[in-house]
């Protein structure tokens, strides 16, 4: 066996990721299996995070977490065209991450609910802690 001292980094990391023997902890597996959501739920959660994986959309969510804003406000704040912001808002609205309301000729956007705010804030908190 090659010593960890001379093993290339990627091989050492790979060895750290796997057990050295195969042991199935049946009680733990069964307990967790009973708690697992249906596959369609995990797919929907993955889709939710996919929508949130774009830096521009995250900036929009950050702004909307602080105030209800219209497309013009967001465009000015982010230094983007209204068309580009509108495109991102359509994606966020389709995923039910943001909601809109019309007041006369102005359409205001806000986070859909507290869960979206919490997910953003937890992600930001984690990143700031790691940095």
Reported as a single tens digit per residue, the pLDDT across 4-62 is 455 455 555 566 888 889 999 999 999 999 999 999 999 999 999 999 999 999 999 99
CATH 1.10.10.10 fits 9-130, yes or no: yes
Q: Measured between alpha carbons, how far is 95 from 88 in angstroms, rounded to an integer?
A: 11
Q: What is the mean pLDDT of residues 78-99?
A: 97
For the four alpha carbons of 50, 72, 111 and 126, in that order, the dihedral sign comes to: positive
pLDDT for 86 equals: 97
Q: What's the average model confidence in pLDDT over 111-123?
A: 95
For position 26, what pLDDT does the model report?
Answer: 97
């Amino acid at each position: 066996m090659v010593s960890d001292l001379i093993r290339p980094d990627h091989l050492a990391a790979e060895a750290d990721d796997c057990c050295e023997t195969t042991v199935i902890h049946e009680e733990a597996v069964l307990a967790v299996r009973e708690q697992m959501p249906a596959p369609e739920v995990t797919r929907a959660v993955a889709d939710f995070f996919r929508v949130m994986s774009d830096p521009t959309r995250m900036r929009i969510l950050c702004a909307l977490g602080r105030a209800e804003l219209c497309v013009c406000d967001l465009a000015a704040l982010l230094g983007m065209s209204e068309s580009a912001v509108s495109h991102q808002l359509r994606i966020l609205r389709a995923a039910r991450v943001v909601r809109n309301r019309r007041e006369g000729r102005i359409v205001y956007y806000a986070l859909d609910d507290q869960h979206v705010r919490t997910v953003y804030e937890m992600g930001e908190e984690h990143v700031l802690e790691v940095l």
